[in-house]
Amino acid sequence: MNEINILFLAPHWRVTLMRAFQDSWSKRQLPGRLLGADSDEQAGALQVLTESFTLPEFSDSTCLDELRDLCKREAVSVIFPLTNKAVDFLDTNRKVLGDYISYMPPAETVAVCHDKFEMAERFQEASLNVPPTFLADALPDDIPFPLITKPRHGEGSQNVHRVESAEDLEYFRQKFPQHVFQKFIEGTEFSIDWFANRKGIPRLISPRERLTVRGGEVMKSRIVLLPKIIEVARALGDTLSLTGPATLQGILDDEGRFWLTDINLRFGSGYVHSILAGADIPALIHGELSGVPDSAGEYSVRDGSIMVRYPGHLIL
């Protein structure tokens, strides 16, 4: 079997995800190295990988050349970005880094998924449930309350607010003119861990109920293999030609309808739950990059399993 070298770009604090990859490869004795590159040399994930490298910020004009040289020097097989900014950087530089981003979805998919208004428009066109979504300068007179307002571009939970009244709406329109405003959906929050091989064939669709969330990060989740949610995810993947990892977000309302709210084109922070519950995505990646025929179906994960996350630390 070939030696495969994965480079995780901007892994930051995702130590548990890095260790899940390490445990999988070690258990199966798969040849290769798990590498990390980040602008913060003290990033937690860099401390646990086989080898780690420091890069300039993505905004630095030297970052692209340094990343390309790093990939050549270390015989990198593939890059997996672990933040939306890293996804954008790779997407912008496809011509230079094309040999290393074989799991990246098409540029059009990145553009849609990183623009919450365009994403809502695309979902509606595909007859997928999405909360009514509006721009700050195009709000209807009869807009329903409550609403959620959030950045049109970006990730995480910063500057996300609940809008309860017309007075709130006017305040947030003035404060955040670039935000989108979306109908608030009452229900149960889910993340869906997704992985499709390089041909776009889904290998993992794992819905996780977000039981406890802190600062936008899931701290406790439960896998709930609801066919309704799985079929919505499958339809979405087909609509957007999703390849590689992604984490889909949505809400299951009291009437059993699933509303899509966001997509991250990368391994999410809670994705490790599905890996540890039976979806050996690290081994799948190694096999596909080694040329091993990918003839198996979708992974089976342990339905009802609960993951509890907790803070950890490293002394440098």
Shared fold status for 4-102 and 186-308: no
Closest CA to 282 of 8, 75, 20: 20
Separation between Cα atoms, residue 87 and residue 151, nearest integer Å: 17
pLDDT digits 0-9 by tens, 53-69: 999 999 999 999 999 99
CATH homologous superfamily for 186-308?
A: ATP-grasp fold, B domain (3.30.470.20)
Is the Cβ–Cβ distance between 208 and 191 less than 8 Å? Answer: yes
End-to-end CA distance of the chain: 35
What pTM did the predictor assign? 0.95
**Topology of domain 4-102, per CATH?**
Rossmann fold (3.40.50)
Hey, where are the domains in the chain? 4-102, 132-183, 186-308
DSSP 99: G
How much is the pLDDT for 213? 92
How much is the pLDDT for 296? 67
Instruction: Look at the block and give the residue holding tokens 């699933």.
Output: 258
Which amino acid does the sequence have at 219? M
Which amino acid does the sequence have at 107? A
Bridge partners of 38? 54
Q: Is 151 helix (H, G, I), strand (E, B) or coil?
A: strand
Q: Is 90 helix (H, G, I), strand (E, B) or coil?
A: helix
Domain 132-183 grouped into CATH 3.30.1490: yes
Helix, strand, coil shares of the chain, percent, nearest 5, are 30, 30, 40
Residue 46: count other Cβ atoms within 10 Å of its Cβ.
25
User: Residue 264: CB partners within 8 Å, gap ≥ 6?
Assistant: 84, 113, 155, 246, 247, 249
How much is the pLDDT for 150? 95
How much is the pLDDT for 295? 64
Which residues of the chain fall short of a pLDDT of 50? none
